Chains A and B, each alone.
Chain A
Amino acid sequence: MRLEKCWFCSSTVYPGHGIQFVRNDAKIFHFCRSKCHKNFKMKRNPRKVKWTKAYRRLHGKDMTQDSTFEFERKRNRPERYDRNLAENTLKAIKKIDKIRSDRASDHIKNRLKTGKVQRQKEARKQLELGIHLVKAPLALAQDSSLCLPKIKVNVSQAQTEENQPMEE
């Protein structure tokens, strides 16, 4: 039994799932589900399809280089069963998995950090424009605790002279 990687989306294919396609040059493609299989038949390039791991790694959305990936190499030599080795391997798998997923989520968090200021500015603007959706304008006038503090600008006195009627 072997856990393969889906050729299209790079997720693991567990036994009993998916289809294997053997091309005429004897290259085997594993697919995790019919979605990936159908995309392959449509001749789509996984590096251009946004939800695949190949795209995400290529465009720097996901972590690409890490020492934890070294543990998951493909091994073709079957190991002689050793109870201690099996026990230690299972423990190690759990720990390495945790480390890898923590590092991957850190990578994503750092990537999204730079946009935080921009997102807050946009949120502020949206709140200002759409405050009537949050609280009725009448209620807002009476209790302006929901409003963002308005910046007061001093208008110069020269403007009030325009309102006087023209002298005949």
Chain B
Amino acid sequence: MIQPQTHLNVADNSRARELMCIRVIGASNRRYAHIGDVIVAVIKEAVPNTPLERSEVITAVIISTRKELKRDNGMIIRYDDNAAVVIDQEGNPKGTQIFGAIARELRQLNFTKIVSLAPEVL
């Protein structure tokens, strides 16, 4: 349940460290974003001397949330933190490595590149 002002960790090596959600993409008054939703975020903390800078507005896709993800087969998955992966307009990740286990839902939402880079798919 990510909403504007939520701070998220960055789960890839795209040189950003922490993002703050500004907007949930989807509908005009959409309140919350879950795993697999795209958000517009501002970089709050970045690795110094890299192309991505602090207070730069970027899009990201949410990889993990502390709020449980419920599946149709009754499986409930909860992560330890809220994390996102920085993407560009097409949905391709900006980084080259993904950290952490990724939920299978991202494959259905056409984030295949992210799923293929992930070390483990749940």
Interface residues on B, range: 10 to 19
Q: Binary interface profile of A, 14-34, with partner B (CB < 8 Å = 1, else 0)?
A: 011111111110101000000
Contact indicator A20/B77 (Cβ below 8 Å): yes
Among B68, B73, B79, B120, which residue has its beta carbon within 8 angstroms of that of A16? B73
Query: B101 touching A20 by the CB < 8 A rule?
Result: no
CB-defined contacts of B76 to chain A, threshold 8 Å:
18-20
Q: Are A24 and B80 in contact (CB-based, < 8 A)?
A: yes
**Size band of the interface chain A makes with B:** 10 to 19
Which residues of B from 77 to 105 have beta carbons under 8 Å from A?
77-81, 100-101
State in angstroms the CA–CA spacing of A75 and B81 once bound together. Answer: 30
CB interface residues, A 1-45, toward B, < 8 Å: 15-24, 26, 28
Given A22-B64, A23-B80: A28 and B75 interface contact (C-beta under 8 Å):
no
Q: Which of A16, A19, A20 has the most CB of B within 10 A?
A: A20
CA distance A28 to B74 in the complex (A): 17
List residues of chain A with CB within 8 A of the CB of B68. 19
Inter-subunit contact A15/B77 (CB<8 Å): no
User: Which residues from chain B sit less than 8 Å from chain A, CB to CB?
Assistant: 64, 68, 73-81, 100-101, 119-120, 122
